[in-house]
Structure 1
Amino acid sequence: MAGLNDYTTLNRHFQDYANLVLGVLLFLSPWALGYANTEMAARTAWIGGIVIAILALAAIVNFAEWEEWLTLLMGAAVLVSPYLLGFSDVRNAVAAHNVIGLLVVLASGWELWTVHHRHTPSMR
């Protein structure tokens, strides 16, 4: 039977699991969305997906705040990469990078916020 501590641990790491899934989705997106033949877009998705997934796994295994900051920065880099790396004309790649990058930034920001704003029950 799952205890309260099990639920709290799973709940605390929800954003890390979300980032793991998002990293895998980003890695698979060149094939799924048909831009694997666009070299820069595909390589950015593959590298970004691997880095996000590895950081998420590291945070799941042993949480450290710096991992969340790196994941947030990686999400921001993925978000702006189509415009900085010159594949903003590849619509499917832009959509994948923008949506997944934004979701990674939001998930990591949410976890960082919860780390610094934990609710502590008041004694009455």
Structure 2
Amino acid sequence: MHTVWKKDMIADAVNLVIGVGLFLSPWILGLSAESPTNWNAWLTGILIAALAVAALAVFGEWQEWVALAAGVWVAISPWVLQFSANATATPVHVVAGIVVAAAAALRLWFLQQSHPRVTA
């Protein structure tokens, strides 16, 4: 099956790579096992990757809203889950969260701009 890539699919592909990277980050960075940092990376990585795959398969606005929330969560999670002192995990989470949230927000903004406005 041959799929024609559109410009708007790039954000979903980036989110897929970030989700997989976030999932793998505890092993790549050598973080201690069974910590909240690892569980957060694993669960949010799976969520972000799954949302990206869903958006690549069939676009829906709901995927972008959930991705936006997931990105914000990933960015603030070092302080909420109290692992902000970890100089390795914190920047990974903050940067990944900001990129995912920004990509989702940009997609939502483009979606709102493309809807025709009906006025009476």
TM normalised by structure 1 equals 0.85
Aligned to 1:83: 79
Which runs of 4 or more aligned residues in structure 1 lie more than 3 Å from their structure 2 counterparts after TM superposition?
A: none
Preserved contact between residue 73 and residue 105 of structure 1 (Cα < 8 Å): yes
TM normalised by structure 2 equals 0.87
Aligned to 1:61: 57
Q: Distance in 2 between matches of 1:12 and 1:107?
A: 10
Shift of 1:115: 1.1
Residues 119 and 27 of structure 1, relative CA distance in 2, 3 Å threshold: same
Query: Which amino acid in the other structure matches residue 24 of structure 1?
Result: V
Q: Distance in 2 between matches of 1:31 and 1:94?
A: 15
Name whichever structure is richer in helix by fraction: 1
Aligned to 2:41: 45
Shift of 1:37: 3.0
Residues 36 and 23 of structure 1, relative CA distance in 2, 3 Å threshold: farther
Query: Which amino acid in the other structure matches residue 33 of structure 1?
Result: L
Aligned to 1:14: 10
Aligned to 2:94: 98
Give 5+ residue unaligned stretches, structure 2: none
Where 1:50 maps in the other structure, the secondary structure is helix
Preserved contact between residue 34 and residue 92 of structure 1 (Cα < 8 Å): no
Where 2:95 maps in the other structure, the secondary structure is helix
Q: Distance in 1 between matches of 2:99 and 2:34?
A: 23
Q: Distance in 2 between matches of 1:102 and 1:26?
A: 13
Q: Distance in 2 between matches of 1:39 and 1:78?
A: 15
For the aligned residues, what is the CA RMSD? Answer: 2.1
Q: Distance in 2 between matches of 1:55 and 1:31?
A: 22
Identical pairs, percent: 40
Matched, 1:113 2:109: yes
Q: Distance in 1 between matches of 2:93 and 2:49?
A: 15
Residues 24 and 36 of structure 1, relative CA distance in 2, 3 Å threshold: farther
